[in-house]
Amino acid sequence: MTTLCIIPARGGSKRVPGKNLMPLAGHPMLAYSIMHALGSKRVDEVTVSTDNAEIARVAKQFGASVIERPAELSNDTATSESALLHVLDTRRSMGLPEPDTVVFLQCTSPVRRKDDIDNAIELFHKESADSVFSACENNRLIWGMTPNGPVSLTYDWKQRKREQDMEHQYRENGSIYVVKPHLLRSTNNRMGGRIRVYEMDYWSSFQVDTEEHAQLIDWLLRKPEYTLPPRLPQKIDLVVFDFDGVMTDNAAYIDSEGRELVRVQRGDGLGVDRLRALGIPMLILSTERNPVVSARAAKLRIDVVQNVSDKKERLQSIIAERGLAPENVVFVGNDVNDLGCFDVAGYTVAVADSHPELLERARHVLTLRGGNGAVRELCDFIAQDIESRKTPK
Give pLDDT tens digits for 192-213.
999 999 999 999 999 888 888 8
Q: Is the pLDDT of residue 83 over 90?
A: yes
Which residue did the predictor score with more confidence, 346 or 164? Answer: 346
Burial of 391 (0-12, 13-18, 19+ CB in 10 A): exposed
Starting at the edge strand that comes first in sequence, how are the strands of the sheet with 238-241 ordered?
303-305, 282-285, 238-241, 329-333, 347-350, 364-365
Q: Is the pLDDT of residue 350 over 60?
A: yes
Distance, in Å, from the CA atom of 365 to the CA atom of 113, rounded to the nearest integer, reads 20
Give pLDDT tens digits for 216-274.
998 898 888 887 767 788 789 999 999 999 999 988 778 777 777 888 889 999 999 99
Check: CB of residue 247 under 8 Å from CB of residue 294.
Answer: no
| Domain architecture of the chain: domains with CATH | 3-222 (3.90.550.10), 238-388 (3.40.50.1000)
Long-range CB contacts (within 8 A, 24+) of 332-337: 332/239, 332/240, 332/241, 332/242, 332/246, 332/374, 332/375, 332/378, 333/242, 333/245, 333/246, 333/358, 334/242, 334/244, 334/245, 334/246, 334/250, 334/358, 334/370, 335/242, 335/245, 337/287, 337/311
- Comparing 104-108, 165-169, 316-320, 334-338, the range with the smallest average pLDDT is 165-169
Confidence class of residue 98 from pLDDT cuts 50, 70 and 90?
A: very high
Average the pLDDT over 75-94 and give the result: 93
- Comparing 6-15, 50-59, 63-72, the range with the smallest average pLDDT is 6-15
pLDDT of the residue at 57 = 87
Q: Is the pLDDT of residue 393 over 50?
A: no
User: CA angle, corner 246, sides to 243 and 249, nearest 5?
Assistant: 105
Which residue did the predictor score with more confidence, 258 or 10? Answer: 10
Contacts of 209 (CB under 8 A, 6+ apart): 15, 16, 108
pLDDT of the residue at 158 = 85
Q: Is the pLDDT of residue 14 over 70?
A: no
